[in-house]
Amino acid sequence: LAVSWFQNALGLDQVEFYALRAEAYIQLCDFSSAAQNLRKAYSSQPENTDFLERLTLVLYLKGQCLFEQCAFLDALNVFSQASELQPEKFCFRYRCMACLLALKRHRECLSFVTKEVEHGTTNADVYILRARLYNFFQQVDLCHRDLHSALLLDPKHPQAKVPLKVMVDQAQEARQEAGILAVQGKLQRALQCINCAIENNPLDPSPALPQMCCVISGETHHLVLGHFTSLSLGFLI
């Protein structure tokens, strides 16, 4: 009844009643119709920021409903519209990221997140999300760097601390195994372990790691073996 009344009353003050009719549609949870009316009100009075705020809120609600219905592509389109209207609001961009993940469009999501990082985000969750994407693409060293960046922003963030500790532990185990393999003369496998250690902990300050990543040839076997052997003694103590 309220919607019907507002339709009959539009001739009185069109802009105001577009906004009022939108509110009636919101009460009915008809976010599509509410957004249409708010767009008309905002296009008539683009200087009215209240209309813009209300419109983007309705678009957010509509997008969230679509997302919960697993209509991820439609939700992405709606959140993108809201983000275009208010690009300064990161909440719309974060919902776009969630939609891209749900659609399994990981490469696009990675590009989206990287742009957010380049814009100077101070949100640790953004770095953690990109770390997970890097891990998905098996770019372990980049994953480690983003987890480290997340902890610089939020030192107690559990979603960064736990996986980073696992990676550091894996790096230590790989280095120790490399020392044992080197003593056994299995230099190719030792080099693989060192590469694994560097990927899992690229910020390790040890000056020995870059030296061990040389190309092993017949002429350098004895030099590398001696280097590995001296390091392995430290690992085994």
d(CA 80, CA 205): 42
- Flag whether 21 is in a domain: yes
- Average pLDDT of the chain? 81
- Flag whether 86 is in a domain: yes
Place of tokens 């008309």: 40
d(CA 35, CA 54): 9
Q: Tens digits of per-residue pLDDT, 127-154?
A: 999 999 998 998 988 988 899 899 999 9
d(CA 54, CA 48): 10
| 81-85, 92-96, 159-163, range with the lowest pLDDT | 159-163
Q: Is the dihedral of CA 173, 174, 179, 181 positive or negative?
A: positive
Buried b (16+ CB within 10 A) or exposed e, 143-153: bbbbbbbbbeb
Would you place residue 185 in the very low, low, confident or very high pLDDT band (cuts 50, 70, 90)?
Answer: confident
Q: Phi, psi (5° rounding) for residue 216?
A: -85, 120
Structural domain count, the chain:
1
- Flag whether 125 is in a domain: no
| 85-89, 153-157, 221-225, range with the lowest pLDDT | 221-225
- Flag whether 22 is in a domain: yes
- Flag whether 2 is in a domain: yes
- Flag whether 37 is in a domain: yes
At 109, which amino acid appears? Answer: C
Would you place residue 93 in the very low, low, confident or very high pLDDT band (cuts 50, 70, 90)?
Answer: very high
- Identify the helix (H) or strand (E) that includes residue 73: helix 72-85
- Flag whether 110 is in a domain: no
pLDDT at position 69 is 96
Q: Which two tokens stand for residue 24?
A: 């009636």
| 47-61, 106-120, 136-150, 219-233, range with the lowest pLDDT | 219-233
- Find how far residue 153's CA is from the centre of its chain: 15
Q: What pTM does this model have?
A: 0.71
Contact 113, 145 (CB under 8 A): no
- Residue 72 sits in a domain whose CATH number is 1.25.40.10
Contact 52, 42 (CB under 8 A): yes
Higher pLDDT, 82 or 169: 82
> What percentage of the chain exceeds 90 in pLDDT?
48
Q: Tens digits of per-residue pLDDT, 200-218?
A: 777 665 634 434 444 443 3
How many residues make up the chain in this entry? 237
- Flag whether 60 is in a domain: yes
pLDDT of residue 75 exceeding 60, the answer is yes
Contact 35, 56 (CB under 8 A): no
Query: Could you tell me the residue range of the domain that residue 90 belongs to?
Result: 1-104
